Structure 1
Amino acid sequence: YIIFNKSVIYAIESAVIRWSHQVQGVLKRESSQPLLQGENPTPKVELEFWKSRSEDLEYIYNQLRTIKVRGMAGLLDKFQSSYLPAFKAMFRDVRAALTEAQDIHTHLLPLHHHLEALESVEFPKVKPRLRPLLHVVCLIWATCKGYRSPGRLTVLLQEICNLLIQQASTYLSPEDLLRSEVEESQRKLQVVSDTLTFFKQVFQDRRENLHTYFKENQEVKEWDFQSSLVFVRLDSFLGRLHVVTDLLKTALDFHKLEKLEFSGIRGNALSQQVQQMYEEFQEMYRVFSESSYDFLDPQSMEFETDVSEFNQRVEDLDRRLGTIFIQAFDDSPGLEHAFKLLDIAGNLLERPLVAQDTSEKYLVLIRMFSKDLDAVRTIYSQHTQEEAELGFSTVHKNMPAVAGGLRWAQELRQRIQGPFGNFDRILHPLGKAVFLGSCFLNDLISLKAHSFW
């Protein structure tokens, strides 16, 4: 009988050891495991985890409460087994974990509706749904004690970021983004960038107002974790969007080379050089338009390598383009042709390396315009001096004094407005300064015109 009891107790103790290992395996599972394994789960994985955890623990808890298991615990107690405390601790741990899992699962359920709504709309319509989503997250933090943990909340927020990245990638369609019209692709990128930036702003706003979600007699627990823990992948994705945006801007700039033609002595030769550069750029850009990798994936190092090589070659094109513009400017016979060249060049002159190489030509423009400005100023001074000395001024033949004076002022002002108005379109600081100077003289002439009345 004693031998029988010992064998039974030994079997029960062995079962307790085996159960403890199995139960501990269940208890140690965390929803962060997919993230730690390098996966990119969405919030639905979080909701499913706590639903499954609640069901699994409830099943284990019910097993531990069966008559058979309670009888086994009674035998351990009767024979004062050293494994009885371990059995009781296992039971307490399961009961506590079940209570926590059920509470968390209940509090996470309202998220399901918001996530469904978020996934059911096109990405441009996502922005209005972000604030209500984070509002629910804040309520969960304030009302669910088991989820009021930085580790668990950052997992949920990272998963929300993953969902937004997933939807943004679907909307952008990487396989078509660099093959579509550049302007349309730029518009889509701007929509995504604005939406993701807005999400970060709403997060910060809710973080600063987290105290409003707690009751008056409740201790406020702030989000004391770093934002970078939440947005590590989202920020990488935004960084990749900026790289693609710069790539598209470069493509848009260099597509203008296709129709760029020059006049003057070397016009034909310069135009041929530009066409050759355009063909070179098309070949360079084809690396991206024909690529098979997902260039929106921040982990894609192949894209980083291609972009680095591409930018180096673009720098060479910018230098050559700057040299061509300098030669074309030097060939311009006058102011009208010089400004026409600026209009033709357009945004290409705003490219940093091109602007750096051509900036000194703005000084040449200023000197050319300065002569015309001095001439107008001299005419104006002579006219006012003549009027002061003689009491009248020369006007157009066969015209009354008032009408003739107005006509004179209008012609002089038109002489300024025509050429000098071009400076208003020049982004260079010197161009703005000259434009302001011409406006000042134009105002003086306007005042002079009013004096004829």
Structure 2
Amino acid sequence: MKNSLEGIIIKWACQINDVLKEDSSQAFKDGRHPTPVEEISFWESRQKNLRNIYAQLTEPKARQIGVILEGIDSVYSSSFKKTFKHVVQAVHEADDISLYLKPLRKTFETFESTDFTDSADMISPMLHLVCLVWANSCYYGINSRLVILFKMISNMMIAEASKSLDPGSLFQGEVDESLIKISQIIDSLEFYK
């Protein structure tokens, strides 16, 4: 019984550690260009997954397994406790980050649904909200996370500028109108930079 119980704990700990190791920077794998909405979705999903894991670990059966492991002096008792501690920390982190990123979702979605030439006035308020997240979130205000977010914001800016610079409409319209549109887009990108 001891061996089968310890085997279950090893398998469980490995699965939980895989979830704990997930990072939003993985969105950039395979040459992808994620936008900030994906960052927010990642943290919302992570929060939900971690809360489910926490709920499982706090069920009476799971706590009973911890007591049994301690009672039989299993070497995996400390691993079980450590895994639980890491899950609790990760839940706090995901709760904090989700709380502060959630208000940004509407801003980013509005920015993405607005023509880029009309969105210049949205850049400052959007960056101000990012600064508020940086200043107030206990877990998101670190350089590595902000670098990821700014990469995603830059991806969003590039994607929206590219949509506005659709070659089909750009070369079919009047030269003066196209030049004005290009100038507006360059000005917006310069302002963001």
TM-score surpassing 0.5? yes
Written as runs of structure 1 = structure 2, the 5 A alignment for 1:97-116 is 97-116=90-109
Q: Which one-letter code corresponds to 1:66 in the other structure?
A: E
User: Partners in 1 of 2:141 and 2:191 — Cα distance?
Assistant: 25
2:4 corresponds to which of 1, 11, 14: 11
1:58 corresponds to which of 39, 47, 51: 51
1:96 corresponds to which of 81, 89, 95: 89
The question of 1:168 aligning with 2:161 is answered: yes
Written as runs of structure 1 = structure 2, the 5 A alignment for 1:141-220 is 141-200=134-193
Q: Which one-letter code corresponds to 1:106 in the other structure?
A: L
TM-score normalized with structure 2 length: 0.95
- Gaps spanning 5+ residues in structure 2: where? none
Matched residue SS, 1:15: helix
Written as runs of structure 1 = structure 2, the 5 A alignment for 1:384-423 is none
Task: Answer whether contact 2:40 2:101 (CA < 8 A) is retained.
Answer: yes
Runs of 4+ in 1 over 6 A off after TM superposition: none
Aligned to 1:42: 35
User: Partners in 2 of 1:146 and 1:37 — Cα distance?
Assistant: 27
Bigger radius of gyration among the two: 1
User: Partners in 2 of 1:73 and 1:110 — Cα distance?
Assistant: 39
**CA positional deviation for 1:17:** 0.7
User: Partners in 2 of 1:155 and 1:174 — Cα distance?
Assistant: 30
Q: Which one-letter code corresponds to 2:170 in the other structure?
A: L
Q: Which one-letter code corresponds to 1:44 in the other structure?
A: V
Q: Which one-letter code corresponds to 1:126 in the other structure?
A: S
Matched residue SS, 1:85: helix
Q: Which one-letter code corresponds to 1:51 in the other structure?
A: E
User: Partners in 2 of 1:34 and 1:180 — Cα distance?
Assistant: 37
Please tell me the root mean square deviation across aligned C-alpha atoms, in Å: 1.4
**CA positional deviation for 1:41:** 0.8
**CA positional deviation for 1:130:** 0.7
TM-score normalized with structure 1 length: 0.41
- Gaps spanning 5+ residues in structure 1: where? 1-7, 201-453
Greater helix fraction, Structure 1 or Structure 2: 2
**CA positional deviation for 1:119:** 2.5
User: Partners in 2 of 1:20 and 1:31 — Cα distance?
Assistant: 21
User: Partners in 1 of 2:50 and 2:77 — Cα distance?
Assistant: 21
Task: Answer whether contact 1:42 1:160 (CA < 8 A) is retained.
Answer: yes
* Structure ranking higher on relative contact order (CA contacts 8 Å, 6+ apart): 2
**CA positional deviation for 1:48:** 0.4
Written as runs of structure 1 = structure 2, the 5 A alignment for 1:40-439 is 40-200=33-193
Task: Answer whether contact 1:9 1:75 (CA < 8 A) is retained.
Answer: no
Percent identical among aligned pairs is 38
Q: Deviations over 1:50-72 (max 9, x none)?
A: 00000000000110111111111
**CA positional deviation for 1:181:** 3.7
Q: Deviations over 1:183-207 (max 9, x none)?
A: 333222111111010111xxxxxxx
Task: Answer whether contact 2:37 2:109 (CA < 8 A) is retained.
Answer: no
**CA positional deviation for 1:117:** 2.7
Matched residue SS, 2:168: helix
